[in-house]
């Protein structure tokens, strides 16, 4: 982060006496401000229209009853009260979301780290493996989910067929309330490529001499990983944990598509549009799914806004806690970041 | 005798003891077999999808895994049975306009946030990061209301179209700004200063010096944007859910099975058609992808 001396000469040069000198300087400062403002203008416009304004509106709407047709009616904290005392779906939705974060994120990070470690040690075919592990991360989530629901289809899907050949009776996967979330975790593990690439790059960035000196001190492979690799890449691990948690909080596409496809699959007879919240039996009802139904299927805009405010608070809190606690275990080398 | 002394003795690396070598070999074999195992698991879904997409609809309902006969017509039927072309066209419009928008609006903002010095710059960057971290669900309800009302006021149905997703892209996308700023920071200021000394305006510095040096980052951002719009589901579902003629591929595909009950073969063929462009794009631009991912992760 070096400075830009020439550009700032106008602003930072010591003030010289004489009015002739000051006038152009002032002008330059203004020109400079105008330039910054001009360059920042798309963001300023976008931020106020598509972020600040809706955020404020959200707070207001959450205190009203609003169905998009009649004007919003002020009802105070009734939405929040309903959420915490009466809504039968809120706690299941929160629990499911916490589950997918608490189980999914550590597994994703561990899995990606494990693959990356093995790839750094691999002698042959690194490029091939890297491509194979990264590719599924690019598959559009809707397509990936459709594929998985078919592959894990209890009756005709290849997974249970193969398990059957091995003498194992496979579970009902996306159609079983106990297995639906684990199935979604499997789907997320399939798309681990992005984390894997990031880990791989940062592991390869660890200075070689650290390993050598550790080896001289008699550290085995496991100890080298624990005391050299891990501390050196801990900022990247933190980054992926935070990212995983943020994704977990907005987990929608896979859950929504899997539920609607698997539900349609179960009731093959006809119109599957009698949508059940979080099929099967509410096990894939995640918080964003609940919000979607309230806001855009039932058009309880006020209540959906209240749910959004709660999500905002929780997102802030979780991100804050993770970043705060991370100081204990994240090691930022000597470099300034 | 004297000759052999004069010749420099070649450095022979001492071979590791047999036990150590055997251990190393075993570890390598174990590593590679695990990697091969995982690679098979990672490829299997795509293979199964491809195989099923070639089955007859009768066969797709049986546990048999190998198509017999190969029913290539599925890929024709997919386009006949659903307005797949229309969805693809919608997605192309969304991806093209949004990607152009994030670049045009994001590049100057990223420049101002990295290469110009002004009071409050770091605070603004922090705000950009916060908008990046918060879930879209947090602002989605008032935005929907806003578009609905605006559409009512000027007599254009924004809700039901993809415009509520395209227009914000032209007003500074947080991810683009973040990524480009990180890259712009790595460009040495000396280049810029040299141009400034030559009397170059900041805009010309941006369009000539910086954009030329930041080409890989700009390509990566464009790729990510195309990929993001291609995969985007929540917001398109929200805005175009009721208007099937404006569905992008992602929404159309998710509804495909509701349109065609039980026909797993056609559904998988459609899935494959949707996957194909991304996979092709990846092989065409593999390096840019990997560089881009590394840029977001490591430098973040």
Whether residue A285 lies inside any domain: the answer is: yes
Phi, psi of B197 (to 5 degrees): -60, -35
What values do phi and psi take at A306, rounded to 5?
-60, -45
Average pLDDT over residues A271-280: 62
The answer to whether residue B11 neighbours chain A at the CB level (below 8 Å) is no
pLDDT at B165: 94
* pLDDT at site A125: 84
**A12 and A148, same structural domain?**
no
The tens digit of pLDDT for each residue in A31-90 reads 888 999 999 999 999 999 999 999 999 999 999 999 888 899 999 899 999 999 988 899
Q: Place A332 in a pLDDT band, splitting at 50, 70 and 90.
A: low
Q: Give the DSSP H or E segment for A10.
A: helix A5-12
pLDDT computed for residue B72 by the predictor: 85
Question: B260 pLDDT band (50/70/90 cuts)?
Answer: low
Closest by CA to A35, choosing from A10, A16, A15, A2, is A10
Report the range out of A272-276, B137-141, B257-261 with the highest average pLDDT.
Answer: B137-141
B86 at A interface, C-beta within 8 A: no
Asked if B40 has any chain A CB less than 8 Å from its own CB, the reply is: no
Tell me which of B135, B200, B279 to substitute to probe the interface with A (most A C-beta atoms closer than 10 Å): B135
- B31 interfaces chain A, CB cutoff of 8 Å: yes
A contacts of B38 (beta carbons < 8 Å)? 115, 133
Where residue A275 falls among pLDDT bands split at 50, 70, 90?
Answer: low
Angstrom distance (rounded) from CA A126 to CA A111: 17
Which chain B residues are Cβ-neighbours of A39 within 8 angstroms? 108-109, 111-112, 116, 202
Which of B110, B122, B118, B115 is closest to B192 using CA atoms?
A: B115
pLDDT category of residue B92 using cuts at 50, 70 and 90: very high
- State how far the alpha carbon of A305 is from the alpha carbons of A42, A252, B260, in Å: 27, 17, 35
A214-237 mean pLDDT: 86
Q: What percent of chain A has pLDDT over 90?
A: 41
Are A119 and A216 in a shared domain?
yes
- Is residue A54 located within the same domain as residue A96? no
Higher pLDDT, A45 or B23: A45
Contact state of B109 with A43 under an 8 Å Cβ cutoff: yes
Nearest CB partner across the interface for B141, out of A58, A158, A273: A58
Give the residue among A294, A261, A302 at the shortest CA–CA distance from A144. Answer: A261
Number of domains comprising chain A: 2
Looking at residues B222-241, what average pLDDT do you find? 91
Task: Tell me the C-alpha distance between A261 and A151, whole Å.
Answer: 12
* A152, A158, A222: best to mutate for the B interface, most B CBs within 10 A: A158
Residues of B in contact with A8 (CB under 8 A): 117
User: pLDDT digit string (tens) for A137-184?
Assistant: 989 999 999 999 989 988 888 888 888 888 888 888 888 888 999 999
Mean pLDDT of B107-116: 93
> Alpha-carbon torsion A311, A316, A319, A321, what sign?
negative
Q: At residue B130, does pLDDT exceed 90?
A: no
**Distance of residue A334 Cα from the nearest chain B Cα, in angstroms:** 15
Q: Could you tell me which residue, A324 or A93, shows the higher pLDDT? A: A93
Picking from B170, B172, B198, B200, the residue whose alpha carbon sits closest to that of residue B112 is: B172
Do A10 and A107 share a domain, yes or no?
A: no
Burial of B229 (0-12, 13-18, 19+ CB in 10 A): buried
Q: Of the ranges A82-86, A259-263, B83-87, which one carries the lowest mean pLDDT score?
A: A259-263
Q: Judge whether B84 and B282 are in contact, CB under 8 Å.
A: no
Residues in chain A with CB shorter than 8 Å from the CB of B293 are 194, 197-198
- Does A55 share its domain with A101? no
Range with lowest mean pLDDT among A89-93, A283-287, B28-32:
B28-32
Give chain B positions within 8 Å (CB) of A13: none
CB contact under 8 A, B286 and A131: yes
A33 shares contact with chain B (CB less than 8 Å): yes
Could you read off the pLDDT of B140-161 as tens digits, one per residue? Answer: 999 999 999 999 898 888 999 9
pLDDT score recorded for residue A91: 92
**Are A273 and A178 within one domain?**
yes
The domain that holds A154 is classified in CATH as 1.10.3720.10
For residue B193, give the nearest of A6, A49, A249 by CB distance.
A6
For chains A and B, CB pairs below 8 A equal 300
Contacts of B104 in chain A (CB under 8 A): 42
Residues A37 and A117 occupy one common structural domain = no
Residues 6+ positions from A180 with CB-CB distance below 8 Å: A173, A174, A258, A259, A262, A279, A280, A283, A284
Mean pLDDT of A257-280: 67
Query: Among A226-230, A325-329, B36-40, B209-213, whose mean pLDDT is lowest?
Result: A325-329
Q: What is the pTM of this model?
A: 0.85
Residue A335 lies in a domain: no
Indicate whether A334 belongs to any domain.
Answer: no
pLDDT tens profile B185-223: 888 988 888 888 888 888 888 988 899 888 888 988 998
Q: Do A201 and B298 touch (CB under 8 A)?
A: yes
Q: Tokens representing A141? A: 């989530």
For residue A33, which phi and psi values (nearest 5 degrees)? -60, -40
pLDDT given for residue B259 in this prediction: 65
Contacts of B63 in chain A (CB under 8 A): 155-158, 160-161, 164
Q: Which of A299, A142, A257 is nearest to B144 (CA)?
A: A299
Query: Rounded to the nearest 5°, which phi and psi values hold at A73?
Result: -110, 125
Q: Do A273 and A191 share a structural domain?
A: yes
Please report the pLDDT score of residue A5 as a whole number.
44
Q: Which domain holds residue A176?
A: 88-329
Look at residue A72 and tell me if it is in a domain: no
Mean pLDDT is highest, among A13-27, B14-28, B223-237, B279-293, for B223-237
- Per the prediction, chain A carries an average pLDDT of 84
Q: Both A99 and A200 in a single domain?
A: yes
Per CB-CB distance under 8 Å, the chain B contacts of A135 are 42, 46, 279, 282
Any CB–CB contact under 8 A between A133 and chain B? yes
Confidence of residue B265 (pLDDT cuts 50, 70, 90): confident
DSSP state of B199: T
Q: Assess if residue A76 is contained within a domain.
A: no
pLDDT tens, B60-84? 777 777 887 888 888 888 888 888 8
The verdict on A301 touching B (C-beta cutoff 8 Å) is yes
Q: B142 and A53: CB-CB below 8 Å?
A: yes
State whether A212 and A156 are in the same domain: yes
- Judged by CB atoms closer than 8 Å, whether chains meet at B238 and A68 is answered as no
Share of chain B above pLDDT 70, in %: 92
Contact A252 B264 (CB under 8 A): no
In sequence order, the β-bridge partners of residue A74 are A64
Q: What radius of gyration, in Å, describes the C-alpha atoms of chain A?
A: 27
Closest CA to A305 of A44, A49, A78: A78
Query: Which residue, B113, B107, B133, is CA-closest to B125?
Result: B113
Residue A67 belongs to a domain: no
Residues of B in contact with A157 (CB under 8 A): 63
Spacing of C-alpha B152 from chain mean position: 34
pLDDT at A271: 42
Q: Look at residue B291 and tell me whether its pLDDT is greater than 70.
A: yes
Confidence at residue A274, expressed as pLDDT on a 0 to 100 scale: 47
- A320 part of contact set with chain B, CB < 8 Å: no
Q: What pLDDT score does B10 carry?
A: 67
Q: Is A238 on the interface with B (CB under 8 A)?
A: no
Q: How many angstroms separate the CA of residue A260 from the nearest CA in chain B?
A: 9
Delimit the domains of chain B by residue range: 12-74, 79-298
Name the nearest CA neighbour of A134 among B195, B216, B57, B281: B281
3 state SS of B161? strand
What are the C-alpha distances in Å from A317 to residues A246, A303, A326, B254?
11, 21, 14, 33
Per-residue pLDDT band at A323 (split at 50, 70, 90): confident
Q: What residues 43-72 of chain A have any CB closer than 8 A to a CB of chain B?
A: 43-47, 49-51, 53-55, 57-58, 61, 66, 68
- Name the pLDDT band for A29 (thresholds 50, 70, 90): confident
- pLDDT at res. A329: 67
**Is the pLDDT assigned to residue B109 strictly greater than 90?**
yes
Question: Residues 204-243, chain B: which have Cβ within 8 Å of A?
Answer: 227, 230-231, 233-234, 237-238, 241
Q: Residue written as tokens 């989605």?
A: B140
Interface mutation target, options B137, B228, B292, chain A, most CBs of A under 10 Å: B137
Model pLDDT, residue A268: 46
Q: Which residues of chain A have a CB within 8 Å of the CB of B188?
A: 2
Instruction: Indicate if the pLDDT at residue A11 is higher than 50.
Output: no
Residues A146 and A209 reside in one and the same domain:
yes
B111 C-beta neighbours (distance < 10 Å), count: 26
CATH of B79-298, one of 1.10.3720.10, 2.30.29.30, 3.30.300.30, 3.80.10.10: 1.10.3720.10
Per the CB < 8 Å rule, is B45 touching A144? Answer: yes
The reply to whether A25 falls in a domain is: yes
- Residues A166 and A117 occupy one common structural domain: yes
């Amino acid at each position: 982060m070096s400075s830009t001396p020439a550009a700032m000469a106008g602003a930072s040069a010591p003030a010289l006496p004489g009015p002739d000198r000051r006038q152009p300087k002032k002008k330059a400062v203004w020109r400079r401000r105008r330039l910054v403002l001009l360059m920042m203008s798309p963001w300023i416009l976008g931020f106020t229209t598509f972020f600040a304004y809706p955020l404020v509106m959200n707070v207001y709407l959450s205190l009203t009853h609003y169905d998009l047709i009649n004007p919003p009616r002020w009802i105070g904290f009734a939405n929040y009260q309903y959420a915490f005392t009466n809504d039968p779906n809120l706690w299941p939705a929160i629990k499911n979301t916490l589950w997918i974060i608490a189980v999914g994120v550590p597994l994703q990070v561990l899995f990606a780290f494990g693959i990356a470690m093995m790839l750094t040690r691999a002698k042959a075919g690194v490029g091939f493996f890297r491509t194979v592990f990264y590719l599924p991360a690019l598959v559009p989530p809707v397509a990936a989910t459709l594929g998985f629901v078919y592959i894990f289809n209890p009756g005709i899907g290849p997974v249970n067929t193969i398990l059957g050949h091995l003498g194992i009776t496979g579970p009902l996967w996306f159609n079983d309330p106990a297995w639906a979330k684990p199935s979604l975790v499997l789907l997320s593990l399939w798309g681990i490529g992005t984390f894997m690439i990031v880990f791989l790059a940062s592991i390869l960035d660890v200075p070689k001499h650290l390993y050598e000196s550790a080896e001289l001190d008699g550290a085995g492979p496991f100890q080298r990983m624990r005391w050299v690799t891990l501390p050196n890449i801990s900022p990247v691990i933190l980054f992926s944990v935070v990212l995983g948690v943020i994704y977990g909080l907005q987990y929608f596409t896979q859950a929504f598509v899997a539920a609607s496809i698997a539900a349609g699959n179960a009731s093959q007879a006809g119109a599957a549009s009698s949508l059940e919240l979080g099929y099967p039996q509410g096990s894939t009802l995640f918080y964003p799914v609940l919000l979607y139904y309230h806001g855009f299927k039932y058009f309880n805009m006020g209540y959906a806004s209240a749910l959004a405010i709660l999500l905002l608070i929780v997102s802030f809190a979780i991100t804050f806690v993770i970043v705060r606690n991370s100081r204990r275990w994240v090691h930022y080398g000597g470099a300034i970041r | 005798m004297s000759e052999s002394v004069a010749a420099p003795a070649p450095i022979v690396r001492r071979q590791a003891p047999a036990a150590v070598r055997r251990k190393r070999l075993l570890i390598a074999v174990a590593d590679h077999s695990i990697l091969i195992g995982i690679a098979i698991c990672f490829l299997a879904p795509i293979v199964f999808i491809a195989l099923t997409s070639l089955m007859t609809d009768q066969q797709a309902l049986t546990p048999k895994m190998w198509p017999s006969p190969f029913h290539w017509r599925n890929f024709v039927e997919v386009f006949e049975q659903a307005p797949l072309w229309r969805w693809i066209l919608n997605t192309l419009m969304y991806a093209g306009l949004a990607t152009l928008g994030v670049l045009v609006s994001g590049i100057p903002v990223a420049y101002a946030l990295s290469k110009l010095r002004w009071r409050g710059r770091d605070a603004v960057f922090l705000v950009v990061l916060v908008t990046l971290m918060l879930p879209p669900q947090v602002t989605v309800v008032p935005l929907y209301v806003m578009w609905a009302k605006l559409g009512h006021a000027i007599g254009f149905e924004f809700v039901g179209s993809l415009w509520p997703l395209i227009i914000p892209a032209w007003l500074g996308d947080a991810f683009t700004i973040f990524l480009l700023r990180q890259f712009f920071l790595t460009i040495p200021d000396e280049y810029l200063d040299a141009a400034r000394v030559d009397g170059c305006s900041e805009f010309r510095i941006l369009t000539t010096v910086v954009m030329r040096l930041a080409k890989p980052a700009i390509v990566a951002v464009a790729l990510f944007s195309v990929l993001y719009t291609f995969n985007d589901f929540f917001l398109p579902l929200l805005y175009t859910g009721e208007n099937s003629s404006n569905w992008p591929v992602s929404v159309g595909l998710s509804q495909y099975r509701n349109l065609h009950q039980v026909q797993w073969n056609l559904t998988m063929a459609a899935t494959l058609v949707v996957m194909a462009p991304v996979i092709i794009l990846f092989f065409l631009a593999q390096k840019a992808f990997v560089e881009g991912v590394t840029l977001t992760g490591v430098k973040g």
